[in-house]
Amino acid sequence: DLGNAWFQAGDLGLAIANYLRAERLIPDDPRLNANLEYARSQVRPLIADDGHEALLRRLAFWHDNWTLRARLWGFGLTWLILWGALGLRALRKYPGWNYLAGTAAACSLLLGVSAVLDLGMASDQRRGVLIGDQVIVRKGNADSFSPQFEEPINRGVEFEVLEVRPDWLHIELGNGERGWIQTDDAELVKLVTSTIERTAFRGVSPSQHATDGTPREDRTL
């Protein structure tokens, strides 16, 4: 609801930021996912992944396209299949059990590692969304540094935070490009998970959003 409110208010950056927060609370909600993808499609210019990132995403499709819940269920299922195949192999010698056990072990390992990485990123990695128009990404953390890109970028562009300094953020865009932006131009996204945070998350209206110049990391909570 909060993401929709910001979208209807014309603030694409804050809409995407709140859709991302909500995605962690209800990752399988089709309406939320559709709203997030539609909001992303309105961002101009689009920041596409570079070729290397795109290849990794295709090879590791289960990590990016499957929800954490789906991967955990998959891990549990393949783990049961693995031990079931090992048990059947002990009862009856049949080459097929070895192939089944090996496949289940590989799938279980991949899904387990993917889930662990995702859980670690949820607690450590900070993401953000630009909320300013014509944001100049610079080569250093001061206005005296020259722009990193020929053209400024607009609200709604997502990034990962690499480093935080007073009034500045070192960010990495989806295409791997890096640079510095002012904190006033960013909304940081904390991936909320606790019951208290969920209650607070659902009870905030756009009018409660802070407008000071500090990094906006879950000040809506």
- Nearest partner of 24 among 158, 119, 160, 162, judged by Cα: 119
Helical packing angle, 195-202 and 12-25, nearest 10°: 140
- Domain 2-42+126-208 CATH assignment equals 2.30.30.40: yes
* Tens-digit pLDDT profile for residues 18-35: 998 888 788 778 898 899
pTM comes to 0.58
Spatial distance between the Cα atoms of 119 and 115, rounded to a whole number of angstroms? 6
Instruction: Examine the pLDDT at 192 and tell me if it is beyond 80.
Output: no
Using 50, 70 and 90 to split pLDDT, how confident is the model at 63? Answer: low
Tell me, what's the pLDDT at 175?
Answer: 83
Mean pLDDT confidence for 100-105: 90
What the block records as the tokens of 162 is 């690499």
What confidence score (pLDDT) does residue 88 get? 86
* More confident of the two residues 46 and 9: 9
Q: What pLDDT score does 162 carry?
A: 87
pLDDT of 199: 35
CA distance linking residue 66 with residue 28, whole number of Å: 10
Residues 182/171, Cβ–Cβ less than 8 Å = no
